[in-house]
Structure 1
Amino acid sequence: MRYLLLALTLLALASSARAQPPDWGTAHQIDVHLTNFHFTPDRLEMRHGEAYRLHLINDASGGHNFDASQFFAAAQIAPSDQAKIRKGSVELKGGETVDIRLVAPAAGTYKLHCSHFLHSSFGMTGEIAVQ
């Protein structure tokens, strides 16, 4: 009986530790510049389960977006930033910056592109690699 109580206590402690929100103050910041027609960098590297602040900067005068629908669907997005993502995409007007706080999802490679007309064809593509 003692072992059962000990096991249940440890299980409860482990699940409560996972339920705590990330410390956004210590999140890794990744700056991504959107220009005509590139992402810089065009390959983002993250570690599963770590907190990040994705700092998107549109250096162009026209609009672009950061479309990574599978990545955003799998990541844990900060509740206050969820409304900035619509259908897996973050829209940025010319000169605009947007921050998205998230916890990196499961390991894998996620595609990234700008879904504006012909922007992907002109090379505005990339990937997010999670280890």
Structure 2
Amino acid sequence: MKPILLGMIALATPVAAQSPDWRKAQPISIRMTDDGFIPRSIPVRQGAPYVLRIVNRSDKGHNLTQEAFFDQALVAGRDRNKIHGGKIVLASGEGMTVRFRAPVTRRGGTYQFSSTTLGDAGKDYTGVFLIR
């Protein structure tokens, strides 16, 4: 009887409340360089789990800022403290991993991200998350 009850509870639990199996999440790698983000275009599927690995290969600090995306994504509990005000901040040579489930918004939607570090505005230090 208990397995049936547990199965019914699992079916009644909203998908957003269920934690993804992060071991099966798709990896995304972003490098920060002196010239910007590589790659600049990051396609993600609605509600799919991802493991974002971001590394700063530049000789100065940068950040990846996109407040609406990170507010609407389901960020893993252990990684929420890595994002402040929609920013992932990395010093030169630093790397970070952030696990998230992509926002469930309309397909074809975009979330443009940038580095708001002083001096980056004059460069093309931008990129975009594309919702598929």
Return the index of the structure with the highest Cα Rg.
1
Gaps of 5+ in 2: 1-6
Distance (Å, rounded) in 1 between the aligned partners of 2:67 and 2:12: 28
Distance (Å, rounded) in 2 between the aligned partners of 1:17 and 1:73: 18
TM-score, normalised to structure 1, is 0.86
Q: 1:1-131 alignment to 2 at 5 Å? A: 13-16=10-13, 18=15, 19-105=17-103, 106-107=105-106, 108-131=109-132
Percent identity reads 30
Structure 1 position 124, deviation (Å):
0.3
Which amino acid in 2 is paired with 1:130? I
Structure 1 position 13, deviation (Å):
4.8
TM-score, normalised to structure 2, is 0.86
Gaps of 5+ in 1: 1-9
Which amino acid in 2 is paired with 1:113? S
State the Cα deviation string for residues 15-58 of structure 1 (Å, max 9, x = none).
32623210000110000000113100001000001100111010
Contact 1:37 1:119 in 2 (8 A): no
- Report what 1:3 is aligned to: none
3-state SS of the aligned residue for 1:80?
Answer: helix
Structure 1 position 117, deviation (Å):
1.2
Contact 1:65 1:92 in 2 (8 A): yes
Structure 1 position 62, deviation (Å):
1.1
Which amino acid in 2 is paired with 1:111? Q
3-state SS of the aligned residue for 1:95?
Answer: coil
Q: How many residues align?
A: 122
Which amino acid in 1 is paired with 2:86? G
RMSD: 1.7
Structure 1 position 70, deviation (Å):
1.2
Contact 2:34 2:59 in 1 (8 A): no
